[in-house]
Amino acid sequence: MGIQRTRRKGASSAGREIELVTAKRARRQRILAVRDKLTVREINLRSRKIIAALKKNPAFITARRISVYVSFRSEVRTVSLIKELIAAEKKTVYLPRVVPPRKELAMVRIKDSTKDLAPGIWGILEPLGDLPPLKNSRDLDLVIVPGLAFDKTGNRLGYGGGYYDRFLKKLEKVPKIGLAYSFQMINRLPTSRTDIKMDYVITDQRVWYFNRLPEVNGVNEQGEG
């Protein structure tokens, strides 16, 4: 009897995992199809609104060491922000570089957005291989995160590789901000235990604050719910 119950439990758990993977895949396909229909003008207009709101965010204002994703295809544009931050020399900018054997991300400081970057394994610009990675990712003050969708409790749906989930898992106390278009905000996403929640999600219509970090670098947060 005990063996049979164990087998049934294992089969049930495997079935739920398959359902979760299927649900996530279907959600990714739907959101990506909508996002990729945006015109360049729409992407740029929405992105400018999102980046303007990001710059007013207290976690962004107080951060000195910032990790930023490099936008690709129809993602919220970040390249202009990266160039601006480097030129201002007030914040240290780190960009992700894929470490293929371990399926991980290394954060690498860049000082020149033209000379320090080259296309990576998926064609996304990333820091050159000879630039040294940040030794301790916990030294970051803020991580700006891409995603295909987010929900109203802070959950994030990535592209399926798990790279950012593995990276963010190490950064429990580091604020995380997701950038997204308004249609990428979902009431509820299918989630698993390995998914990492955001502290903020900024869209072109509003800022979502999930009250996980009541204080960031000594600044009290007052976010929109």
pLDDT string in tens for the chain (225-residue length):
555 554 444 445 566 667 766 777 877 889 999 999 999 999 999 999 999 999 999 999 999 999 999 999 999 999 999 999 999 999 999 999 999 888 899 999 999 998 999 999 889 999 999 999 999 999 999 999 999 999 999 999 988 788 998 999 989 889 999 999 999 999 988 777 777 899 999 999 999 998 665 444 433 343 444
Residues 6+ apart with CB under 8 A from 4: none
Residue 222 confidence (pLDDT): 38
Q: Return d(Cα 123, Cα 20) in angstroms, integer.
A: 29
Range 130-137 contact pairs with CB under 8 angstroms and sequence separation of 24 or more = 131/97, 132/108, 133/97, 133/106, 133/107, 133/108, 134/94, 134/106, 134/107, 134/108, 134/109, 137/67, 137/107, 137/167, 137/170, 137/171, 137/174
Per CATH, the number for 2-220 is 3.40.50.10420
Residue 109 near residue 126, CB atoms below 8 Å? no
* pTM of the shown model: 0.84
Q: Residue 212: what pLDDT?
A: 60
